Structure 1
Amino acid sequence: MGSSKFPFAVLCRGSIVGVCYGRNADDLPTPDKAVDLIQQHNIKYARIYDANIQVLKAFANTGIELMIGISNSDLLPFSQFQSNADTWLKNNILPYYPATKITYITVGAEVTEAPNNESALVVPAMHNILTSLKKLGLHKKIKVSTTHSLGVLSRSFPPSAGAFSSKHALFLKPLLEFLAENQSPFMIDIYPYYAYRDSPSNVSLDYALFQSSSEVIDPNTGLLYTNMFDAQIDALYFALMALNFRTIKVMVTETGWPSKGSPKETAATPDNAQIYNANLIRHVINDTGTPAKPGEDVDVYIFSLFNENRKPGLESERNWGLFYPDQTSVYNLDFSGRGAVVGMPTPNSNGTAGGFNGTTKTWCIASSNATQLDLQNAVDWACSTGNVDCSPIQPSQPCFQPDNLASHASYAFNAYYQQNGATDIACTFGGTGVRVDKDPSNALFPSVQTLLHRSLCLGSDAMHFLNCKLVYFALQAMITACI
C-alpha cells in the first residue's frame, strides 16, 4: 500500500501505538477536527504523508508526536541540491516546531514498489535532509528514514531465511549504513491481510488475526510463531542480521485490516478489522516482542484514521479507516491495549446482554483509578462521537444526581457498552472504563439508597409503609436505569 494510505524505544519507554492520518479523500473533516478525534482516543503518535501547513498547525501544542513525509515526487530536487532541503526545512518545519512535536521525517515511501523506481534518489535526499537538520541542531530530535513494503524481501518464510532482494542491493547497502550510523529505524509497512487474501490455502485467517491456537515452527531455529505479524517482523530482523546490521530497530509504519472489500475479499469485514487491530494493540503494548527478539519494543502505526474515498483499486483500498469521515467509529477500538481478547457475548435467557460467556449481566462503570481529565475526555467522546444520549445526566434530569463526574461517566460508559454488544472492547474508554458483574447502583448511589430506606419508609402506618415501598421500588428502578 502506497503513501496515500486507531511508537519508539528511547530510554526503555516501551512499545507505542500510533495512527496514520491519510487524506486521500474529498469528504474528510478539517484537520482541527481530525486532531480532536485523535486526542479523544488518547492517541499520542500520528503519521502524515506530507508537510501540509494546516495539518501541522492543527497538531501544535497537543503533545502528539508526529511523523511527517516527503513524497516520492519530491525526491529529485531534494537529492540534487542541499539548498532545496534547507529551504524546505526552513519553510515547512521551523515555523511550527517545537509547538508541533515532529519526531520523524520519512524521505519517500515504498520507493521500490513505485512505477518509476526512484530508489537511487532516496539516500542522497536523506543525507541532505539530515545535513539541514544538523545545521539547525535538530538531528538528534528528529530522525530521518524511509518506508518500505515487505516486497523489499525476496524471502520471508521461514523467518530465519528472511533475505533482502538482490535487485535492491545498490539501494539497500548505503541506506542501511545511513540508518545504523544515525540510529534511525528501518520502517516497514506490514499487512498480514494481503498474505491471507492472496494465499488463503497457505495462511490461515486465525494466524493472520492473532487468534491461532496452533504454532508454526521455524525449522532452522525451532522458534514458535502464533501470528503472521511476528513472523514478518522477524524475517526482517534475520535479513538485517544476514548483512551484519544488528543494531537497526524495525518500526512498523503501517499495518491494519480493511472493514469492507469487493465480493472476492471475504475477509474484509468490520469484525475481522476490529479483531486484528485490537489484538495487535494488546500484543504490542504488552512488550512481548517477537520470538527472535523477545522483550524488544515493536512500535506500530495503524492504517488508517479515516476511510479514503479517492483511493484507486479494489473496494478494500477505500475502507481501512477506524472512522468514517463523519467521525463515527467503523468499529470499536481501544488504543490502551488493556481490553481482553475481542469477542461477542451471548444473550442471556432474559434477553439482556450477557458477560463474555453469556452467563451474567454485566455493566461498564468508571474506574476509580482514572483521573478527572481522562474521565471528562471519555465522557465527552461517549456523548458525542460515541452517539450516547446523555440528556438524562443533565441538570434536573433523572440521572443527574449524584452530581459528580464518576457517576455521570458510569452512565455514559454503560449506555455505550450496552449499545455496542457489551464486549470488553466496548468498555475501555482509554483505560477509564471497568466491567463489573454486580449491580453497581448501590455502590454508586449510597446516599439515595439510604434516603429511600431510612427516611421515606420509617412510618408506622401500614398503608403509608406500602405506598412508600411502591415509591421506593419505582425510584430503585430509576436508579438502576441510570446504570
Structure 2
Amino acid sequence: MARGFRLIFATSVVLMVFGICNGSTIGICYGRNADDLPTPDKAVDLIKNQNINSVRIYDSNIQILKAFANTGIDLMIGIPNSDLLPFSQFQSNADTWLRNSIVPYYPATRITYITVGAEVTEATGNISSMVVPAMTNVYNALRKAGLHRKIKVSTTHSLGVLSRSYPPSAGAFDSKHAGFLRPLLEFLADKHSPFLVNVYPYYAYRDSSNNVSLDYALFESSSEVIDPNTGLLYMNMFDAQIDSIYYALTGLNFNTIEVKVTETGWPSKGSPKETAATPENAQTYNTNLIRHVINNTGTPARPGEALDVYIFSLFNENRKPGLDSERNWGLYYPDQTSVYNVDFTGKGTVDVNNGGNLTSLNGVSWCVADPNASEDDLRNGLDWACGSGNVDCSPVQPSQPCFEPDSLVSHASYVFNSYYQQNGATDIACSFGGTGVKTDKNPSYDNCLYMTAGSNNNITAASNITANSHANAHSNSSGQRRFSLPNYHCFLLVIVFVMIQSLSTNV
C-alpha cells in the first residue's frame, strides 16, 4: 500500500513537472470577415507552413473544424455574442450544440478552449449578464460528455474592462462591471480556466502619442518606465498592460488565475492620421513580440512565467467597418501573399517585402556604440540588452575576453553587436535609442571576437539567461549565466521526481 501511494505520488509529480515546464506559445487568430479568402484547407496549410501550433477561430464552423483534423494544432473556438441568449437560457441548447458541433470532430480536431462571448463589456445592450450562465451551461455539457477536463471554458475581454492600467500596480477592474466580473472570476478560479484578454499597445500609442513613445509600444525602447509603487522597470507597453491585469486580479484575491492574450498585433495600413500603421512597424512589433514571448521572459511582476499569446490576425479582413487600420491587421492578403514577413520561431532573419528594413555593408556588418553618445544613454542601452534583450553579457565581465578595455563604450559595443546579430542584423536592432552605429569594419580584437550572423558564437540559449528582465548583467561581476526561472524550477522538479521514483522502487 505504501509503495503504491509513493508510485501514485511520483506520477503526480511527473504531471506537475510537465505542467510547469510548458513554455509560452505563439498562436494566430484566423478571422474570416473578408472576401476571396482561401479555402479552410489552404489556410491550414499556410498555418502549418509557419509552424504555428495554436489557432483561434471565432465560431465553430464545421468546415474549419474538419480542416484542422489530424494536424496536431490546438484550436480555440468561439460562441459569438449573438448566441449568448439561447446558450444562457437553456442547458439543452448547449448540450445540442456540443453534440452536433464538437463531439463528432474531437479529438481528431484538438479543441482546447471554448470562448463564450467576446469583449461583452464593450458591446451594446446588457449581454454581459448572459455570459456566466452560458459558460456554466457549456461547461455542464462538456462534463456530461466527459470533456470538461480537456476543454477549458472562458470568455475574452478588452483592456477596457479595467478602470486603471497605469501604473501597472494600480491596475483595477472597472467597478461598473462588478456584477459581471465577480461570478465570472469565481467560475474561472473554480474551473481552473484562464482569464483571456485582448491587448493592443497600438491603440495606446495611437490615442496618446504624447505620453507613449513609439519605441516603447514596439518593444524597441532603450529606457525604462518605472512603476512608482513597486520600483519595477518596464521596457515595453505590452508587459505593462499584462501586469495591470495581474494586479487587478490580485486586488480581488484571484491571483491564481492564469492570463492568456487572445489578441494582439499591429496594423500594416491605416487612415491618413494613423501614421504608425505601416508594414515596418507591424513587422517590428510582431517580430519582437514573438521573441519576447518564446524566450519565456515573463513580465516584471511575473518574471519567467509562461504566457500564451495569439497574434491578430492571419488575413486582412476587408469587410470590417471603421478606420482603414481595422481591415489591415493580417500577416497575409487573401491571395496568401505576405503583407510582411514574420518568423514564428523567433530565430530567423526577417525582411520587409520592400527590402527597406534589412541592410548590410559589403555583405557583413556589425553594430557598435556611438563614442559620442552620453554615458546615461549608453548605460541604458547596455542594461536593456543584458536584461530584456536576452544578450549573454558575461564576455564583458572581469577576467573575460572582452572586459578590457574597461570602458562603457567598449562594453556597450560588444553587447550591442551581440543583440544586433541575434535579431536579424536589421537597422532596428542597432538603434538603441540612437546610440548604436553600423560599421563594415570588424571590431574584434585580441581574443574578443564580435559575433556575425550565422557564426558559431552567435548561438545564445535564451533559456539559460535570467528571466528577470531588469537584472543588470553589466554590473554582475560573477560573469555566470543563470537558469531562467521556468527551467530552474523544472530542473528542481526533475530531481525531486527522480528521488521519489528511486524511493518507490527501492522501498
TM-score (ref. length: structure 1)? 0.71
1:211 to 207, 214, 220: 220
1:326 to 329, 335, 346: 335
Between the aligned partners of 1:72 and 1:232, the Cα distance in structure 2 is 25
Alignment of 1:45-444 (within 5 A): 45-339=54-348, 344-348=357-361, 353-355=363-365, 435-436=453-454
Alignment of 1:10-25 (within 5 A): 10-25=19-34
Shift, 1:280, TM fit: 0.3
Between the aligned partners of 2:137 and 2:454, the Cα distance in structure 1 is 56
Q: Is the 8 A contact 2:343 2:350 kept in 1?
A: no
Report the AA paired with residue 261 of structure 1. G
Match of 2:15 in 1: none
Q: 1:206 to 1:424 in 2, by over 3 A?
A: closer
Q: 1:424 to 1:34 in 2, by over 3 A?
A: farther
What SS does the corresponding residue of 1:292 show, helix, strand or coil? coil
Match of 1:38 in 2: 47
Between the aligned partners of 2:350 and 2:295, the Cα distance in structure 1 is 13
RMSD of aligned C-alpha atoms? Answer: 2.1
Q: 1:347 to 1:290 in 2, by over 3 A?
A: closer
Between the aligned partners of 1:297 and 1:53, the Cα distance in structure 2 is 31
Report the AA paired with residue 178 of structure 2. A
Between the aligned partners of 2:187 and 2:82, the Cα distance in structure 1 is 22
What SS does the corresponding residue of 2:104 show, helix, strand or coil? coil
Q: Is the 8 A contact 1:282 1:339 kept in 2?
A: no
Alignment of 1:469-480 (within 5 A): none
Q: Is the 8 A contact 2:280 2:357 kept in 1?
A: no
TM-score (ref. length: structure 2)? 0.68
Q: 1:158 to 1:60 in 2, by over 3 A?
A: same
Between the aligned partners of 1:56 and 1:435, the Cα distance in structure 2 is 41
Deviation per CA, 1:261-286: give whole Å up to 9, x if none.
01000000000000000000000001
Between the aligned partners of 2:426 and 2:210, the Cα distance in structure 1 is 31
Between the aligned partners of 2:349 and 2:258, the Cα distance in structure 1 is 28
- How many residues are paired up? 357
Moved more, 112-121 or 260-269: 112-121
Match of 1:471 in 2: none
Match of 1:430 in 2: none
- Unaligned ranges ≥5, structure 1: 1-8, 359-420, 426-433, 439-483
Report the AA paired with residue 119 of structure 2. E
Report the AA paired with residue 276 of structure 1. Y
Shift, 1:435, TM fit: 4.9
Q: Is the 8 A contact 1:279 1:341 kept in 2?
A: no
Between the aligned partners of 2:453 and 2:22, the Cα distance in structure 1 is 28
What SS does the corresponding residue of 2:344 show, helix, strand or coil? coil
Q: Is the 8 A contact 1:22 1:308 kept in 2?
A: yes
Between the aligned partners of 1:341 and 1:322, the Cα distance in structure 2 is 13
Between the aligned partners of 1:253 and 1:154, the Cα distance in structure 2 is 20
Q: Is the 8 A contact 2:425 2:453 kept in 1?
A: no
Deviation per CA, 1:45-79: give whole Å up to 9, x if none.
00000000111100000000000000000000000
Q: 1:340 to 1:204 in 2, by over 3 A?
A: farther
Shift, 1:423, TM fit: 5.4
Between the aligned partners of 1:311 and 1:304, the Cα distance in structure 2 is 13
Between the aligned partners of 2:98 and 2:286, the Cα distance in structure 1 is 34
Match of 1:364 in 2: none
Whose radius of gyration is greater, 1 or 2?
1
Between the aligned partners of 2:46 and 2:425, the Cα distance in structure 1 is 23
Seq. identity, %:
76
Between the aligned partners of 1:422 and 1:347, the Cα distance in structure 2 is 8
Shift, 1:26, TM fit: 1.4
